[in-house]
């Protein structure tokens, strides 16, 4: 009894062409996704260096490898860039950020020495102007790097950040912190917000007598 022979039909030229086009399309999508995610990956590397307070080449390379592993393991939606970046406002923001870090460090040290365990903390919610994931990520990292507060939750449906904040005794303290956060968000919008966010911020500033953007909506 002769064995059964399976005849494999040769692939048609059109099928080969379709397969090659599909492979090229998949490769283009992978490259495009990598380029879209590259700014977020580099941001994660900078945050890694800031958290460890070590910007040596070896530590940054290790942080880059970890960032690539995180991006590859957790398939997060790509963060779309706004398409604009203002260098002058970026310099101003960097100087302001350094000053806030120094000021907050002195405040935290004073609270620890003077009040100790008697200090009261609170979870404060702040509704952002922006609904973009990039802005929420940047603002959350900046606030976490400033001593005395860190992000505990992000509500993407309402663009609300919830932060645990040190030394909040009254509603006035909570509102003052909200305003500080909104000022930081306004500074980030001037640096890299999209055109719609920038136009809304300018309209808000024009409607405010003092010429600065202030939010009136309160969160619990």
Q: Which residue has the higher pLDDT, 33 or 49?
A: 49
| Residue 191: HSE in the Cβ half-sphere, 13 Å Cα cutoff | 19
Count of domains observed in the chain? 2
Domain check: are 71 and 90 in the same one?
A: no
Could you tell me if residue 3 is inside a domain? no
- Token code pair at residue 77: 């939606």
Q: Which residue in the block uniquely carries the two structure tokens 């040190």?
A: 166
16-39: per-residue pLDDT in tens?
445 555 555 555 555 656 666 777
105-152: per-residue pLDDT in tens?
999 999 989 888 888 999 999 999 988 888 888 899 899 889 999 899
Cα–Cα distance measured from residue 133 to residue 194, given in angstroms and rounded to the nearest whole number: 12
Domain check: are 139 and 173 in the same one?
A: yes
Domain check: are 205 and 98 in the same one?
A: yes
The range of the structural domain enclosing residue 73 comes to: 9-79
pLDDT score of 216: 41
Q: Which of 60, 79, 98 is the last residue of a domain?
A: 79
Q: 123 forms bridges with which residues in the sheet?
A: 164
In a 10 Å sphere around its CB, with 0-12 CB exposed, 13-18 middle and 19+ buried, how is residue 132 labelled?
buried
Domain check: are 216 and 188 in the same one?
A: yes
Compute the C-alpha angle 79/205/203, nearest 5°.
Answer: 70
Domain check: are 90 and 111 in the same one?
A: yes
Could you tell me if residue 156 is inside a domain? yes
Radius of gyration of the chain from Cα atoms?
24
CB 127 within 8 A of CB 158: yes
- Token code pair at residue 130: 């922006």
pLDDT score of 206: 84
Cα–Cα distance measured from residue 140 to residue 128, given in angstroms and rounded to the nearest whole number: 11
Could you tell me if residue 1 is inside a domain? no
Q: 163 forms bridges with which residues in the sheet?
A: 124, 151
Q: Which of 41, 60, 79 is the last residue of a domain?
A: 79
Domain check: are 103 and 57 in the same one?
A: no
């Amino acid at each position: 009894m002769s064995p059964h022979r399976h005849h494999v039909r040769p692939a048609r030229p059109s099928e080969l062409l379709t397969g090659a086009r599909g492979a090229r399309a998949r490769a283009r999508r992978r490259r495009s996704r990598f380029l879209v995610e590259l700014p977020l990956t580099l941001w994660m590397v900078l945050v890694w260096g800031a958290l460890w307070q070590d910007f040596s080449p070896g530590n940054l390379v290790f942080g880059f490898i970890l960032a690539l592993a995180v991006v590859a393991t957790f398939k997060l939606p790509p963060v779309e860039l706004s398409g604009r970046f203002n260098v002058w406002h970026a310099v101003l923001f960097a100087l302001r950020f350094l000053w806030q870090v120094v000021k907050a460090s002195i405040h935290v040290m004073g609270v620890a020495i003077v009040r100790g365990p008697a200090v009261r903390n609170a979870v404060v919610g702040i509704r952002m102007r922006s609904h973009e994931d990039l802005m929420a990520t940047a603002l959350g990292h900046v606030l976490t790097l400033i001593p005395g507060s860190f992000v505990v939750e992000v509500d993407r449906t309402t663009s609300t950040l919830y932060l645990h904040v040190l030394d909040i005794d009254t509603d006035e303290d909570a509102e003052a912190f909200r305003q500080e956060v909104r000022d930081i968000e306004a500074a980030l919008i001037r640096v890299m917000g999209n055109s719609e966010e920038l136009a809304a911020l300018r309209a808000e500033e024009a409607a405010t007598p003092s010429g600065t953007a202030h939010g009136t909506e309160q969160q619990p």
